[in-house]
Amino acid sequence: MAFVEIEQKYRLKDPAKTRALLKKIGARKIASGVELNEFYDKGDFLKKQKVALRFRRFGKQPATLTLKGPRIRSRFTKRMEIETPMDPATAKAFLKFLGCRVCRRYSKRRELFKLGEAFVTLDFLKKFGWFLEIEAQPQSIRNIERKLGLTRADREERSYLQMLFHRLDSH
């Protein structure tokens, strides 16, 4: 597969300490702000295939339309992901033409860091608290996990959709 995302999410108890550690190991903050996520489906067509179609806006970054496939068996969260920047009006017209409607919507506060080839995010979701995600190749995820003092016990295997909507059968 040409388009594969590999990431791991962790629950955080002390985001200030994590920010300090990220700075210490050379991560640089590249964006922050509120991220708005809308998930689209045509009936339950995509859900039945364990596929998600997401439209996202984050701070001043370009809006993106993302197609995520079902999870692939792996030590970390691994799945097909095809993402493209898209003008919001164009994206909405495109989705409407296909007969897709918003089926889930949520927002979170996000801080995005770059560390080598890895992207690290600090996310805050109301009612759930702070999370950290590392998107990188498996060896980089393991290295960053170790440097930040994170363990398997800190991992959160559920997606934000699963957490927010209490559905283990979600995307």
CA distance 161 to 106: 8
H-helix or E-strand spanning residue 90: helix 88-97
Kindly report whether the global pTM for this prediction surpasses the value 0.85.
yes
Query: Residues 115, 135: contact at Cβ < 8 Å?
Result: no
CATH 1.20.1560.10 fits 4-165, yes or no: no
3-state secondary structure of 55: strand
CA distance 161 to 168: 9
List pLDDT tens digits, range 111-139. 999 999 999 999 999 999 999 999 999 99
List pLDDT tens digits, range 38-53. 999 999 999 999 999 9
Which pLDDT score, from 0 to 100, does residue 168 have?
A: 42
Which pLDDT score, from 0 to 100, does residue 61 have?
A: 82
CA distance 134 to 140: 9
What average pLDDT score do residues 137-155 get? 96
